Structure 1
Amino acid sequence: MRILTLAGFVLSALFTQTAFPAGGTSSQVLEAATQFLDQFVERQASNGYKITYELGNLDSRLTLANCIAGPTVAFSGDPWRSTHPRLEISCEGERPWRIFLSSALKITGEAFVAARPLGRGDRLREEMISRSEVVINSIRRGAIKKLEDLIGMEISRPINAGTVFTPDLVSAPDAVSRGDHVIIIARSGNFSVQSRGKALGNGRIGEQVRIENLSSSRTLRARIIGPGRVEVVM
Structure 2
Amino acid sequence: MPNAFCTPHRAVCAVRWSGLLLAFLLLGRMAHAGEVEVLEQTAREWIEPALAASLPADGSAPLRTEVDIGSLDSRLRLAPCDKVEAFMPPGSRLWGRSRVGLRCVEGARRWSVYLPVTVKAFGPAWVLKRAVGAGATLTQEDAELAEVDWAAHRAGVLAAPERWVGLETAFPLTPGQPLREHMVRPMKAFEAGAQVRVMGGSGGIRISATGQAMTTGLVGQNARVRLPGGKVVNGLVQADQTVELAL
1:209 deviates by: 5.3
* Inter-CA distance 119–179: structure 2 relative to 1 (3 Å threshold): farther
Distance 2:185 2:39 in 1: 45
Match of 2:222 in 1: 206
Distance 2:211 2:52 in 1: 56
1:199 deviates by: 5.8
Pairing partner for 2:66 from 51, 60, 70: 51
- Alpha-carbon RMSD across the aligned residues, in angstroms, is 3.5
Match of 2:88 in 1: 75
1:139 deviates by: 1.0
Match of 1:31 in 2: 41
Q: Is the 8 A contact 1:184 1:196 kept in 2?
A: no
Match of 2:166 in 1: 152
Q: Is the 8 A contact 2:167 2:186 kept in 1?
A: yes
Q: Which moved more, 1:219-228 or 1:113-122?
A: 219-228
Q: Is structure 2 residue 212 aligned with structure 1 residue 196?
A: no
Q: Is the 8 A contact 2:120 2:149 kept in 1?
A: yes
Give, as a single letter, the amino acid of the residue that structure 2 aligns with 1:73.
A
Give, as a single letter, the amino acid of the residue that structure 2 aligns with 1:54.
I
Give, as a single letter, the amino acid of the residue that structure 2 aligns with 1:225.
L
Q: Is structure 2 residue 79 aligned with structure 1 residue 64?
A: yes
1:151 deviates by: 2.1
Match of 1:97 in 2: 111
Q: Is the 8 A contact 2:169 2:183 kept in 1?
A: yes
Match of 2:9 in 1: none
Higher normalized helix content (fraction of residues): 2
Distance 1:220 1:114 in 2: 45
- SS for the counterpart of 1:34 is helix
Match of 2:19 in 1: none
Distance 1:159 1:42 in 2: 31
Larger radius of gyration: 2
Q: Is the 8 A contact 1:25 1:64 kept in 2?
A: no
Q: Which moved more, 1:33-42 or 1:117-126?
A: 33-42
Pairing partner for 1:86 from 84, 90, 99: 99
Q: TM-score, normalised by structure 1?
A: 0.64
1:89 deviates by: 0.8
Structure with greater contact order relative to length (CA < 8 Å, sep ≥ 6)? 1
* Inter-CA distance 66–116: structure 2 relative to 1 (3 Å threshold): same
Give, as a single letter, the amino acid of the residue that structure 1 aligns with 2:174.
N
Aligned residues: 192
Distance 1:48 1:184 in 2: 42
The C-alpha deviation readout for 1:137-169, integer Å capped at 9, x for no partner, is 221333223332112212222211222222222
Q: Is the 8 A contact 2:127 2:179 kept in 1?
A: yes
Distance 2:77 2:161 in 1: 49
Gaps of 5+ in 2: 1-33
Match of 2:142 in 1: 128
Give, as a single letter, the amino acid of the residue that structure 1 aligns with 2:35.
T
Q: TM-score, normalised by structure 2?
A: 0.62
1:222 deviates by: 5.2
Q: Is the 8 A contact 1:118 1:160 kept in 2?
A: yes
Give, as a single letter, the amino acid of the residue that structure 2 aligns with 1:57.
L
Match of 1:181 in 2: 197
Distance 1:209 1:123 in 2: 26
